[in-house]
Amino acid sequence: MLRLSVLLLAATLALPASADIRIAVMAPLSGQFQVLGQQMRAGVQKAVDDINARGGVDGEKLVLDVEDDGCKAETAAAAANRAAGRGDVLVIGYVCAAAAEAAAAVYAQNGILFISPGVSADSLTDRRAGPTIFRIATTDRAQGYVAGGYIAKTYPRKRIAVLDDGSPYGKPIADGAAAALKREGVTALRRETYDAGAKDYNALAARLIDDATDVVFLAGYQGDIALIAKALRAANSAIIVIGPDTIGTNQFLDLAGDAAEGLLFTFFTDFRLGDEARDVVAAFRASGTEPVGLVLPSYAALEVWLAARSSAPAKDAASIAATLQDGSFPSVIGKVDFWDNGSTRIPGFSVYRWQDGKPVLLE
């Protein structure tokens, strides 16, 4: 009898075990960007729960590992190496470019799929670490394209200036805006860099007024743009001011005061309004969570990975990455497909106006 029990135990141990599929969220869960990190975590966790409730992936459950990258390159690289050691097959995350790029090198080396819903810096995919690196966050340059396209269409015969603060954030946005204007046959009368961090911008405001500028696009950070807007307001200028996503915050309203009224700005598209997101948005709200910001893009990142995995000829990272690269996938943020460098084709930005202290969608 003992011999039979031992044989039965040995046979049981020899059977292939059902293995969980490990994925990870890497995000800033502390520090100044922790709100965005928590949004990312909430979106992926909900997607994991929904997939597991439907039976998982090929009968296996998804297990979510979560780490705080601190928006620091060294911390992110260490966490990426831990993900490789755990056997995570997919990583979703990051807000800060330095952290994402440090981690991307680890993922590329270890053949791990990486999709970022939050990094907009062009460098992540312009200097792509490998074919398993993707993003569904739109780029800073693409934000400029949206702004320039809107300006060209709305103010086709106006005198337009495009200015930036010379930063790695502002310059690509301004370059994108100028390129979009040129594509539409509009040449900016002034394309230059202003001094970031100046105490006042009265001289800049005077130059814009002397040029008979009708519209100025300012690509930089909110403190400087608030001061420029105030200088124009103080000079009784009617110049239309358009800014990037940095001025789409309540903090900008506090900085600019009355000068914020009527300003236009580009900001992330509100994916909650799309038909594709209706059911998931309702489910989030029923659980007491409002799916703002990066929640839905993070949910979508897991959706598109699963869709690509389901149609890939094999389940390894290289095969799934090739399927992602060539395919088009439905998601809660709409159809997702990618450029050759792994960056999303989704425009991802809309145009808004500050009106009575609230953002009003224009396009």
Residues whose CB is less than 8 angstroms from the CB of residue 9 and which lie 6 or more positions away in sequence, other chains included: none
How do residues 168-180 score in pLDDT, each as one tens digit? 899 999 999 999 9
User: What CATH architecture is 141-267+349-361?
Assistant: 3-Layer(aba) Sandwich (3.40)
What pLDDT sits at residue 32? 81
Q: Cα separation of 350 and 220, whole Å?
A: 18
Exposed, middle or buried, 101 (CB in 10 Å: 0-12/13-18/19+)? Answer: buried
Delimiting residues of CATH 3.40.50.2300 domain(s) in the chain? 19-135+272-326, 141-267+349-361
The identity of residue 148, as a single letter, is G
What pLDDT is recorded for position 347?
80
- pTM here is 0.81
Coil, helix or strand at residue 68: strand
| CATH architecture group of domain 19-135+272-326 | 3-Layer(aba) Sandwich (3.40)
- Nearest residue to 40 (alpha-carbon basis) of 113, 128, 136: 136
Low-confidence ranges of the chain (pLDDT < 70): 1-18
Tokens (6 digits) for 78: 């260490």
- Rounded to the nearest 10 degrees, what angle do helices 317-326 and 295-311 cross at? 110
Closest to 101 (Cα-Cα) out of 70, 118, 77, 137: 77
The confidence score (pLDDT) of residue 20 equals 94
What single-letter amino acid sits at 302?
A: L
For residues 92 and 115, give the distance between their C-alpha atoms in angstroms, rounded to a whole number.
Answer: 5
Helix axes 73-86, 97-110, angle to 10 degrees: 30
305-325 pLDDT, tens digit each? 999 999 999 999 999 999 999
pLDDT recorded at residue 243: 98
